[in-house]
Amino acid sequence: MTDTLTSTSDAQASEPRPTGPLAGIRIVEFAGLGPGPFASMMLSDMGADVVTLMRGEQKQGLRGAIMMRGRRQIACDLKDKECVADVLQLLEGADALIEGYRPGVMERLGFGPDVVLARNRRLVYARMTGWGQSGPLANAAGHDINYISVTGALHAIGAKDKPVPPLNLVGDYGGGALYLVVGILAALLEAQKSGQGQVVDVAMCDGAASLMSLFCELTAIGRWKDGRESNLLDGGAHFYGTYQCKDGEFISLGSIEPQFYAELRRLAGLDDALYDGQMDAKNWPAMKAKMTEVFKTKTSAEWCAIMEGTDVCFAPVLSLSEAPKHPHMAERRIFVDVDGVVQPAPAPRFSRTPSAIRKTVAAELEAVAKEWSGAR
């Protein structure tokens, strides 16, 4: 596999002066799970100096800890008074803070917004939770599947008979980590103008609901039904979905626009007049049934030879082990090999200040706090 990937050299991984667009931005991450580490990984890839306070085992030497890449890790006991004092000093030199505890935990540890912002008025204090800092469920346990359940997202995904969890991409990473990154960057921009920081309340249920904006719009204009596999983008349409091939592999279609649909019909040999009414939803089940049989007449590779690179809006459905080998993925170096671990390359891409993957290293709290205090 590695011959199709870019290897990240030690020189790049340990680059002392990051060139990313966030070079010079200093962020303290209180180690957590899921969205916090993923957001911190993105910020680090983009050049930010991210220091992670570990409440236990450090992961700089743990093979495969992709989301912990690029940080300086500090092991500390946040209940120790001496450690608390050192962390507060560290935060005085920081631009942003990321924490993912339940509401009230940071306050009990002595790092609540009132305490920290009083010492560093320009700090962006980002709080990552599932339910948010307020509301009846604010202190309840939960996971991605619960947060997307109450927003209408999970109800819309899956087969007719039951909803299917879309991994934990929608709540944890889409509605959580990415909104965390956006919130931090927006607040940092505002702080540059006002000289004042603020608290950013990032909730996965908020973000997941925001991601449903298109479907709220479609519902409002009468173009979205609550039943799964009844709509344009939920597997109901015969021209937008997946089909199994002769070899058991799957391909995907997204032939929504009329010209793309016409190309699909031409290349798949869909000459039956039944297919003339592309948007006639009452005939979608019958059209899907016939197309199911058509795609089973050839292997995935054969369909790729016919349709890939055309305007059908076509792609094979690849596994995680197959994806890095795909010619497009390999050409753009979308996956890279870092010390024998295949992982996604930094995204997005910047022409003048490129992102880079940097090594995760252990650090001493007092030394970093002293370094940051003298940086400005």
DSSP 35-72: HHHHHHHHHHHTT-EEEEEESS---TT-TT-GGGTT-E
96, 27 contact by CB (below 8 A): yes
d(CA 153, CA 134): 21
Tell me if 254 sits within 8 A of 313, measured CB to CB: yes
Active site residue 77: no
Q: How far apart are CA 304 and CA 314, in angstroms?
A: 8
Given the residues 143, 155, 201, 311, the one annotated as active site: 143
Following DSSP, what letter does each residue of 277-329 receive, concatenated? -TT-GGGHHHHHHHHHHHHTTS-HHHHHHHHTTSTT-EEE---TTTGGGSHHH
Place of tokens 């202190």: 139
Q: Residue 143 catalytic?
A: yes
In sequence order, the 6+-apart residues with CB closer than 8 A to the CB of 317 are 242, 249, 250, 251, 252
Given the residues 49, 86, 172, 234, the one annotated as active site: 172
Cα-flanking dihedrals φ and ψ of residue 201, to 5°? Answer: -90, 100
Residue 124 near residue 200, CB atoms below 8 Å: yes
Q: Which residues are catalytic?
A: 143, 172
